[in-house]
Structure 1
Amino acid sequence: MTARTAPVELPLQAVTPGRAFGIYIHVPFCATRCGYCDFNTYTPAELSGANPDGWLEALRVELALAAARLDSPPSVDTVFVGGGTPSLLGAAGLTAVLDAVRTHFTLAADAEVTTESNPESTSPDMFAGLRAAGFTRVSLGMQSAAPHVLAALDRVHSPGRALAAAREARAAGFDHVNLDLIYGTPGETDDDLLRSVDVVLEAGVDHVSGYALVVEDGTALARRVRRGEIAMPDNDVLAQRYELLDTRLRAAGLDWYEVSNWSRPGGECRHNIGYWNGGQWWGAGPGAHGYVGATRWWNVKHPSTYAHLLSDGSLPVADFEELDQVAAHTEEVMLRVRMRDGLPLALLSGAERRRAEAVIADGLVTRDADRLILTDRGRLLADAVVRTLLD
């Protein structure tokens, strides 16, 4: 879809009753750009005069406009500050972000409030400040404990810093701490991954996210692959690494609750569960995506354009789409089948239930009462399961 010239009038509907409602806030700043990353982020040299203070002022305006546009804004179940590198804002900056949300929205008494962080831009004092401000969860980008793997990914933190940061967060009172891993990086071995998992377990966190390396077009990693400097990740190796990761984590008491996420009981990320289970959310910040009613929209990407539109009193929307029943159904099947809770059979048409028999026969899913649940092998082929059910 070709983006229209902003500002764009957003035809929002009321939030669908009975569904979780969250707020996602995108912090577009990074100290350096990792070679594999295609997120909407900017280093200081790329900002053209934009800065965190101007971004925060614009964010306050967007949140005010958001609350005004929603018909009876619902209580906020989850807040997720992502990026980029939110921890570059420090405890004071992230506290100001959460204060801006509270100014215009009511947080539920048990709201989950998460921020992503780069281990290198955290400290014990920062975690203490976040906890005092009301943050309840921290997600740390670890990726690997192997120095040569971090170097291949252009990560700047030292191998031991993620472990130290996780311990500091727990010491500050965070019960919920996540460490992210990436597996399948060229040059990584099975032992590299297993050592990384051992570091995660040593940190005592209650949640782990594990993602296969994807070579995204336009990234430095993609250019290195194109030049023949490194090889594309091998699908068979990725599957093997996933199985190693899963086996080691489950043996230590962290079970999968979504294909790429493991937790101890009660450690699941409620904000992400909202995405997967059809929740609604307002996405604020440059490039952020939101979804309310049947409307999905995405903001303009550059922080300067974002701030300029808001200074004129316009929502910074680049474009939007209205999901019809077919598109909404496709997404619901695609997302809910990835969950440990499984895909309710009641969501499927008669034809889709008949096609489900094929993936059951292939050993990719099992039927548990009124739900379809991926088998261990099915988790490796979740996309194929979705295609079979919907085609």
Structure 2
Amino acid sequence: MGESTVSFELPPAAVRGVGSRPFGVYVHVPFCATRCGYCDFNTYTAGELGTAASPESWLDGLRRELDLAAQLLGAPPAADTVFVGGGTPSLLGSDGLGHVLDAVRASFGLASDAEVTTESNPESTSPEFFAGLREAGYTRVSLGMQSAARHVLTVLDRVHTPGRPVRAAAEARAAGFEHVNLDLIYGTPGERTEDLRASVDAVLDAGVDHVSAYALIVEEGTALARRVRRGEIPAPDDDVLAERYEVIDSMLSAAGLRWYEVSNWAASTQARCRHNLGYWLGGDWWGAGPGAHSHVGGVRWWNVKHPARYSSVLADGALPVAGHERLSEDDVHLERVMLELRLAEGLPLDALDAGGVEEAHRAVADGLLERGALADGRAVLTDRGRLLADAVVRRLVTS
């Protein structure tokens, strides 16, 4: 809790460009009812926090941070997108999440067509919750499903019942949400192919227009990592993860949900998550809340992690910045290749140097990039290339 902060100012060149690129606001809610065994996000249960911090002190800090952010940026643009993540934002209830959005409006304002998303745990939602979100101004909901198999949820330490995410998605749609996402995690030890197929079937039955699916990663310091290290459960197998991904992609594609980023599928262009596209396409965003990361004009910074420290620094009138860096040209180039290559539209070839273009042609010969797209001046991953996206990036930037 004794995290140190640093003085922080944005260089004038970075501030001058604000508004010429997509601008989003990310809000990190650090509270969870329980801690999932696989999660290494910056989250805290009530027992871990005790009286050191509360949703009320966090919200006070959030308002102060957003006000300071607007001052630092001078004449900040209205937010094109807002994304409330965590943690478990739905623990705040629709009233609390309404206060969060009010704080963003007060400091930045919202574009007339702003996309406003909140993550939610299915168990802490209800028809009344979704109706309250709509009234508050939210336009999109992302629900954590992970799996429809009870034994898989048990390994992940997820507390929701298998059928609850589908019912929650239906409740969100009934409340007027056109855009609803369900998250899946695949490759959990003990998950069978039939478990995964049942999970995807449940997603499709829910009628959502967006699906995110992520391979399970065993993060150091988590309860899951300790179980793997003790030999209680096996580590995820790379070949199994590839097979699982192919199953997901095949089933979603057949149902009309097309991949637009390696781990994301949408029913239409309008259903794509604009906030995440801002990340992937080099936009600007202010990340508010404990541990949140921000990026403006090639400068990246991150906040102190503990909610109590976060609130106390802001109460003293300072930004809670724990560290920052200015990205070099090489850093910007690497991140552009790494992120844009993951998109269905791919990466313009003119973003690569001569060696990178030569390597792109070799990747076509190896079945990793689409031949027709390359002829049109873009590097686009093939189905096989998506499974090896990180390796393709290394080839294009280390040529």
TM band (smaller chain):
over 0.9
2:228 is matched with which residue?
225
1:130 is matched with which residue?
133
**Mapped pair 1:198 → 2:201:** yes
**Mapped pair 1:182 → 2:188:** no
What is the rounded CA distance, in whole Å, between the counterparts of 1:325 and 1:183 in structure 2?
35
What is the rounded CA distance, in whole Å, between the counterparts of 2:114 and 2:231 in structure 1?
48
What is the rounded CA distance, in whole Å, between the counterparts of 2:217 and 2:316 in structure 1?
38
1:21 is matched with which residue?
23
TM normalised by structure 2 equals: 0.96
1:325 is matched with which residue?
329
1:91 aligned counterpart, secondary structure:
helix
Residue 157 of structure 1 and its aligned partner are, at CA, apart by 0.2
**Mapped pair 1:366 → 2:373:** no
**Mapped pair 1:66 → 2:69:** yes
Residue 9 of structure 1 and its aligned partner are, at CA, apart by 2.0
Residue 75 of structure 1 and its aligned partner are, at CA, apart by 2.1
Query: Cα deviation per residue 1:247-304 (whole Å; 9 max; x = unaligned)?
Result: 0000000000000000101210000011001111000000000000111000000000
Does structure 2 retain, via aligned residues, the 8 Å contact 1:144–1:181?
yes
1:306 is matched with which residue?
310
What is the rounded CA distance, in whole Å, between the counterparts of 2:88 and 2:394 in structure 1?
35
Q: Tell me: CA distance 1:32–1:102, structure 2 relative to 1, closer, same or farther (3 Å).
A: same
Residue 118 of structure 1 and its aligned partner are, at CA, apart by 0.2
Query: Cα deviation per residue 1:21-65 (whole Å; 9 max; x = unaligned)?
Result: 000000000000000000000001111420000000000000000
What is the rounded CA distance, in whole Å, between the counterparts of 1:30 and 1:223 in structure 2?
21
1:56 aligned counterpart, secondary structure:
helix
2:341 is matched with which residue?
337
Task: Give ranges in structure 1 of 5+ residues lacking alignment.
Answer: none
Query: Cα deviation per residue 1:60-118 (whole Å; 9 max; x = unaligned)?
Result: 00000000000321121000000000000000000000000000112110000000000
Does structure 2 retain, via aligned residues, the 8 Å contact 1:309–1:316?
yes
**Mapped pair 1:382 → 2:386:** no
1:41 is matched with which residue?
43
Backbone CA RMSD of aligned residues: 1.1
Code of the residue aligned with 2:171 in structure 1: it is E
Does structure 2 retain, via aligned residues, the 8 Å contact 1:10–1:320?
no
Residue 11 of structure 1 and its aligned partner are, at CA, apart by 2.9
Does structure 2 retain, via aligned residues, the 8 Å contact 1:334–1:386?
yes
What is the rounded CA distance, in whole Å, between the counterparts of 2:130 and 2:253 in structure 1?
28
What is the rounded CA distance, in whole Å, between the counterparts of 2:62 and 2:326 in structure 1?
25
Displaced runs of 4 or more, over 6 A: none
2:60 is matched with which residue?
57
1:378 aligned counterpart, secondary structure:
helix
1:384 aligned counterpart, secondary structure:
helix
Code of the residue aligned with 1:10 in structure 2: it is E
Code of the residue aligned with 2:363 in structure 1: it is V
- Aligned residues, how many? 389
2:217 aligned counterpart, secondary structure:
coil
What is the rounded CA distance, in whole Å, between the counterparts of 1:18 and 1:64 in structure 2?
21
1:214 is matched with which residue?
217
Code of the residue aligned with 1:163 in structure 2: it is V
What is the rounded CA distance, in whole Å, between the counterparts of 1:350 and 1:247 in structure 2?
35
Query: Cα deviation per residue 1:364-386 (whole Å; 9 max; x = unaligned)?
Result: 01141121110000000000000
Residue 17 of structure 1 and its aligned partner are, at CA, apart by 4.8
Does structure 1 retain, via aligned residues, the 8 Å contact 2:41–2:87?
yes
2:76 aligned counterpart, secondary structure:
coil
1:352 is matched with which residue?
356
Does structure 1 retain, via aligned residues, the 8 Å contact 2:3–2:309?
no
Task: Give ranges in structure 2 of 5+ residues lacking alignment.
Answer: none
What is the rounded CA distance, in whole Å, between the counterparts of 2:132 and 2:10 in structure 1?
38
Residue 358 of structure 1 and its aligned partner are, at CA, apart by 1.4
**Mapped pair 1:278 → 2:285:** no
Residue 360 of structure 1 and its aligned partner are, at CA, apart by 1.1
Code of the residue aligned with 2:31 in structure 1: it is F
Code of the residue aligned with 2:168 in structure 1: it is A
TM normalised by structure 1 equals: 0.98
Code of the residue aligned with 1:41 in structure 2: it is T
Residue 349 of structure 1 and its aligned partner are, at CA, apart by 1.2
